[in-house]
Amino acid sequence: MFKKMTAGVMALTLGASLLAGCSSGGADDGKVTLELFSNKVESIDTYKSLIKEFEAQNPDIKIKLDAPPEAETVLKTRLTKNDLPDIMSIAGNATYGELGRAGVLEDFSGIDLTKTVQPSYIDMVNRLVGPEGEGTYGLPYATNANAVIYNKAKFEEHGLEVPATWDEFIASLEKVKAAGDTPIYFTLKDAWTGMIAWNSLGANVAGEDFAEKKNAGEATFVENYDEVADKMATLVQYGHKDNMGVAYGDGNNAFANGKSVFYLQGNWAIPEILKANPEMELGVFPMPVTNDPEQNKLVSGVDVLLAVSEETEHNEEAMKFVEFMMTKETAQKYIDEQKAFSAIEGVYQENPVFEGIKANFETGAITSFPDHYYPAGMGAENLVQEFLIKKDKEKFLKKMDSEWEKVQNR
Amino acid sequence: MNRKKTSWLVTTFLILGSLLILFPLYLTITIAFKTPPEMAGNLLALPKSWSFDNFAKAIEMTNFFNAFKNSAFVTIFVVIFTVLTNSLVSYAIARNLHKKFYKFLYFYFLSAMFIPFPIIMLPLVKQTSSWGMDNLVGLIILYIVFNLSFNVFIYIGYIRAIPVELEEAAIMDGASTWGVFWKVIFPLLAPMNATVAIITSLGAWNDFMLPLVLLSDREMATLPLVQYIFQGQFSTDYNLAFASYLMALAPMIIVYIFAQKWIISGVMKGSIK
Amino acid sequence: MKKKNSVFLIITIPAFLLFFIFHSYPALQGIFYSFTDWKGYGDWNFVGLKNYLNVFKDGRAGDAYLFTFKFAIVSTILVNIISLLVAIGLNSKIKFHKTLRAIYFLPYILSILIVGFIFNFIFAHFLPQIGDAFGWEFLTRNILGNPDLAWIGIVIVAVWQAVSFNTILYLAGLVTISEDLYEAASIDGAGVWTKFWKITFPLIAPFFTINMVLSLKNFLMVFDQIVALTGGGPGKSTESISLLIYRGGFEGGEFAYQSANAVIYFIVIIVFSIIQLKFLNKREVEN
């Protein structure tokens, strides 16, 4: 028995050392390998094809793409480990602000590339870092639109028109519901999807500068978000029967298969929907949040910015890739495939799907994502998700205030 | 017990219960072979054709063989070195338990069993990465060291039951302490070594948390970690996802089918001592 | 004899050092940082007991403790009842004994994370399909989307997995009990119930103790199942302490704060384990 085991162990050891042998080979062929970290699952295929193109132009550089789930937790883990990826393609939100303040990202202030970006988006990311870090640590690349997507065929079937006010919006939801159809397909098993409506409501009702006021002690959720919470609670009444049980991926599929008329999502969901049903005709409009059409702005933020680690050993190569990404041709390709908008001057999204929000970009009727300015680690989306289940408004708003203060005080 | 009649009632209950265990696996296998349109129908139905397309796609997408190699590499080295070193340490402690230092060691290792991993997680991640150990070799070392606390506990019980006379006879024949251990004790520990090897290999093969926090290079990801990383990309292609899950589970299931009797008795023996 | 001593020291001292470096030292570091305001990077200051006081005031941490203990206690009890029943069943005279034993042990070899992903699909798609087909209203919604029920989904997966190992441990205990004892009891006119409480249970009591303690300890560290099933949601209703420390400690930049949480967690686990051992040992002696 023992002899047999020894033989087995020997065989295994031999096998393992062979395996180890082949894993260590082939690393040193003169190529520089860069790691590109992306927080977006939706853009993996686009990035892969862009990387292929870049590698063809630069045969001595190899780019490894990493787009893990819970990307921000992973990125923060790597920050703690002092092991940041060479290039980061991340959202312009509180995590970016924190990385900027931590001084671990290359400062792009004043370099030529920043001049190709629309100045308003540079301001937006600079504001995230705040006065403590001051600098442009990321180049705004793609921007997004937080909107209402609708199924055109169903829309016509119900005889609807694009609503311009909150009351009109509710009236159309009511009409769909009365006809026995599902108005909105919610995917609240993934907490973040609740933030789409929250951000549209919050930005237009409570104002863009809520976070600054909140930090200065001049505003609170209890005082300024009462109407937002009420309207959130109204919206979920127009969902399907399992609002909390369906996740984002399944929701994209369901919407693509005509399970509802409206879908509260960002432009990033459109490629996923079209993947599930390439024939589908979609429309988009900004969520009308108030009854004054003049006041209803589209929520748009920096969906992707490109940052380079301060400590990368291959700064030159990393910048080469960033420059490649920032060219007009690449930027155009990116937004065409991703159905996104570009932060780069002179690159426009011409897809007819976006007819309904084009005017907002042209006239500047745009406002930023309120939750990008919330302190990281506050977990606002889970609190909102909890509220949508329990509908305990007073308690919820108080909790939003106390969690915010708690995280700020640590 | 052999004199009793076969209890059909108990058999029936146990068979019904075993269906609860087999059902998720049945679902995994059938879904892994289906195509997305088939998912709209009855989920219990068998796939229309047994094509391996999903598997081929999953292998390519997740770089399955690389992950398999990583998992195998970690598991094999952890098992070998855990058995060799942990038994040796246990022997040294077991034969000196009357001395203060060794008694302290015994309780030191034992008490670590009750320290939950999350407590050491944050500083450990920091420490291992600053020492360049955030890779597979680091993972192997950590498993071997962490296994000590449980293994010392089960080895020592067994070693203390081995009569000291056996060793004394070997020493009379001129064997050194090393010789005594490798020639006399280690072979006698064979059943316990088997138990430790089984538990250790399952632990290393299936662990998720330590690879998650320790490994940042995706090329090093182990099989469970790969399933996690690709969650977003599987998205709603459950056929692809389940093909990938099935391949990640298969190596252990195959080993189990062939070595099932040996594995179960190994674990049982370990628990009696 | 002197030489022999030095050999033993050569063996044990490196083991001790390695264990100290990779286990105790990080633990001590964690305790140290829990008195600072360190984010995991950059500068830090001593803040005294501030983090500890904040943990006690932190509703999110409180909820995580409540959930974790509720989950762990219910799972521990269920696992031990079910696996004891299965073990008794497998130990009686049955058909297909070997096959059944092999099937019941099977979940032990599977990765918890992947099992979780499979069950996630079952909860999200298969059970609602059954619910629709038979008109069972309670099944038509994904229970993982219901904050009052999601924890039950996690218990189901945890129990499904853990029963296997505990069954084997109980089985190991049961096969050591001699058949003669039962026969003697039968002659005295003892029923099945009496036989269980007077013979079976006292003899496997040590196994019961170890199973209870180990299961509880494992369930208190629940992580994989939650990552695969709910990610802590809906709301924060299934956020376990391990998940909170991982998420808050890394993503939230609360390294020091979560270290304080971890220290408290450690103390709670130690206290719980000691109470449990005391209690179970006492009943073993009484029996």
**Would the CA dihedral through A170, A173, A178, A182 be positive or negative?**
negative
Question: Which pLDDT score, from 0 to 100, does residue C2 have?
Answer: 52
Residues of chain A with CATH 3.40.190.10: 32-143+301-345, 146-299+370-408
| CATH fit for domain C59-286, picks 3.40.50.300, 3.30.450.20, 1.10.3720.10, 2.160.10.10 | 1.10.3720.10
In tens, the pLDDT along B221-247 reads 999 999 998 887 887 789 999 999 999
Average pLDDT over residues B141-166: 89
* C-alpha span between A389 and A233 (Å, rounded): 9
**Closest to B217 in 3D by CA, of B74, B76, B67, B59:** B67
Beta bridge partners of C113: none
**Token pair recorded at residue B262:** 């040996």
**Residue-wise pLDDT tens digits, A115-172:** 999 888 898 899 888 877 788 999 999 999 999 999 999 999 999 999 999 999 999 9
Mean pLDDT of A374-378: 80
Instruction: Note the ipTM here.
Output: 0.90
Q: Do B218 and A64 touch (CB under 8 A)?
A: yes
Q: How confident is the model at residue A23 (pLDDT cuts 50, 70, 90)?
A: very low
- What is the tens place of the pLDDT at every residue in A336-354? 999 899 999 889 888 888 9
What pLDDT is recorded for position C197? 84
**Tokens 């490196």 map to which residue?**
C14
A26, pLDDT greater than 80: no
Tell me the per-residue pLDDT of B75-107, one tens digit each, with 9 for 90 and over: 999 999 999 999 999 999 999 999 999 999 999
What pLDDT digit, counting tens, does each position of B26-67 carry?
Answer: 999 999 999 888 887 788 888 888 889 999 999 998 999 999
| Domain segments of chain B as ranges | 29-62+239-273, 65-229
- A32-143+301-345 CATH pick, 1.10.10.10, 1.10.540.10, 1.20.1250.20, 3.40.190.10: 3.40.190.10
pLDDT computed for residue C286 by the predictor? 52
d(Cα C166, Cα C108) in Å, to the nearest integer? 10
Nearest chain C CA: its distance from B102 CA (Å): 8
Per-residue pLDDT in tens (0 to 9) along chain C, 287 residues: 455 678 888 889 999 999 999 999 999 998 999 999 888 877 888 888 888 988 888 888 999 999 999 999 999 999 999 999 999 999 888 888 889 999 999 999 999 999 999 999 999 989 988 888 888 888 888 999 888 899 999 999 999 999 999 998 898 888 888 888 888 888 888 778 888 888 888 888 888 888 888 888 889 989 999 999 998 878 888 999 999 998 888 877 788 889 999 999 988 888 887 887 787 766 655 54
Does C251 sit within 8 Å of A376, measured CB to CB?
A: yes
Spell out the domain ranges in chain C.
Answer: 59-286
How far is residue C212's CA from residue B196's CA, in Å, rounded to a whole number? 21
Using a CB–CB cutoff of 8 Å, tell me whether B73 touches chain A.
yes
Whether residue A22 has pLDDT greater than 60 = no
Q: How many residues does chain A have?
A: 410
- Residue C208 CA to residue C215 CA, distance in Å, equals 10
Distance CA A332, CA A37 (A): 21
Would you state the CATH architecture of domain B65-229?
Orthogonal Bundle (1.10)
Distance between CA atoms of residues C281 and C285, nearest Å: 6
Instruction: Provide mean pLDDT across the span A257-267.
Output: 94
* A36, A39, A44, A46 alpha-carbon torsion, rounded to 10°: -80
**Beta-sheet strand order (sheet of A32-38):** A61-66, A32-38, A87-90, A302-308, A139-143, A341-342
pLDDT band at B115 (very low <50, low <70, confident <90, very high): confident
pLDDT for the residue numbered A196 = 93
Q: What is the CATH number of domain A146-299+370-408?
A: 3.40.190.10
Residue A7 has pLDDT above 50, yes or no: no
Residues of B in contact with C273 (CB under 8 A): 114
Alpha carbon of A396 to those of A105, A365, A391, C159: distances in Å?
36, 30, 8, 33
Is A41's CB within 8 Å of B233's CB?
A: yes
Q: How far apart are CA B1 and CA B3, in angstroms?
A: 5
Instruction: Look at residue A29 in the predicted model and tell me its pLDDT.
Output: 62
User: Which strand (E) or helix (H) includes residue B248?
Assistant: helix B238-272
DSSP state of C6: H
pLDDT band at A14 (very low <50, low <70, confident <90, very high): very low
Give the minimum alpha-carbon distance from C244 to chain A in angstroms, rounded to a whole number.
Answer: 10
Q: B237 with B36: CB under 8 angstroms?
A: yes
Nearest chain B CA: its distance from C63 CA (Å): 17
Interface contacts B/C by beta carbons within 8 Å: 249
- CB interface of B with A, residues 77-96, below 8 Å: 77, 79-80
Question: Is pLDDT of B165 > 90?
Answer: no
